């Protein structure tokens, strides 16, 4: 087994609703090795997206530790978390979350604006990312001129353009038809296998989960694990 990329140690997460404290996780432990492809399934409200937010440094745990690449990240301030996300995490959302006023290439370039790369280097990286997702010919198209599958491929290109170690996918095929979903999931598999990206994917769909190396079932704040070959 590879070195763990992410380790959760006794992570607790509670939300406050009015005067009530609602627990999501109580002392959750988890380890995700480098180059793993994990599908996280579970009923609505089981905390799948909360887990993704914690892994991506979007949300902070109420207790416990989160270690990323041997460094604690749960105690970083907002500014350092932003830098952490920019350097280490690529997000792929269910509804793509592309900027409607920007072209595909401009959308893909966004994470690179946070790096020291100059315009020429950025342009090269954007070109490569779009080639990887097979959308070189759609670089100048705006999201409204692309199909759902194409938009998600642009989102994947945006997620990988700055070469992060971790890709976090929130229901990446939830808004796509079966055939297109298959294409997207195959692409994630390729990114995991060929480029060594560690992927954590939240999904409701058992078919989608089959593309992962293993599936974790989250229910009532605890995991049960199933290993599935794609």
Query: Rule CB under 8 A: which residues touch another protein?
Result: 49, 52-53, 56, 58-59, 78-79, 82-83, 85-87, 91, 93-95, 97, 99-102, 110-111, 113-116, 158, 170
For residue 95, the minimal CB distance to another protein (Å) is 5
Cβ distance to another protein smaller for residue 91 or 211:
91
For residue 92, the minimal CB distance to another protein (Å) is 11
Cβ distance to another protein smaller for residue 36 or 170:
170
For residue 101, the minimal CB distance to another protein (Å) is 4
Tell how far CA 75 is from the center of its chain.
21
Q: 90 - beta bridge partners?
A: 167
For residue 86, the minimal CB distance to another protein (Å) is 3
Cβ distance to another protein smaller for residue 4 or 155:
155
What contacts 75, CB < 8 A, 6 or more positions away? none
Cβ distance to another protein smaller for residue 93 or 223:
93
Give the residue among 25, 74, 67, 36 at the shortest CA–CA distance from 167: 36
What distances in angstroms separate CA 92 from CA 154, 160, 192, 202, 220, one per listed residue? 10, 10, 14, 10, 25
Cβ atoms 167, 111 nearer than 8 A: no
- Which runs of consecutive H residues, i.e. helices, occur in 133-162? 148-160
Cβ distance to another protein smaller for residue 105 or 213:
105
**End-to-end Cα, the chain, rounded Å:** 18
For residue 227, the minimal CB distance to another protein (Å) is 27
């Amino acid at each position: 087994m590879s070195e763990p990329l992410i380790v959760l140690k006794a992570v607790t997460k509670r939300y406050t609703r009015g005067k009530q404290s609602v627990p999501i996780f109580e002392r959750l432990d988890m380890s995700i090795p480098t180059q793993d492809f994990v599908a996280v399934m579970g009923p609505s409200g089981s905390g799948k997206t909360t887990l993704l937010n914690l892994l991506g440094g979007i949300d902070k745990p109420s207790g416990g530790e989160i270690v990323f690449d041997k460094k604690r990240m749960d105690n970083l301030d907002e500014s350092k978390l932003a830098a952490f996300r920019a350097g280490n995490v690529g997000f792929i959302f269910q509804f793509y979350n592309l900027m409607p006023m920007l072209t595909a290439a401009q959308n893909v370039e966004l994470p690179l604006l946070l790096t020291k790369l100059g315009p020429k280097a950025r342009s090269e990286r954007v070109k490569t990312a779009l080639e990887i997702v097979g959308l070189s010919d759609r670089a100048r198209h705006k999201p409204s001129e692309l199909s759902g599958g194409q938009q998600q491929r642009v989102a994947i290109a945006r997620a990988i353009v700055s070469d992060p170690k971790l890709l976090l996918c929130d229901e990446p095929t939830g808004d796509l038809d079966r055939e297109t979903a298959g294409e997207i999931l195959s692409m994630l598999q390729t990114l995991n296998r060929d480029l060594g990206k560690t992927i954590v994917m939240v999904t409701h769909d058992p078919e989608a989960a089959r593309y992962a190396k293993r599936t974790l079932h989250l229910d009532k704040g605890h995991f049960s694990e199933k290993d599935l070959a794609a």
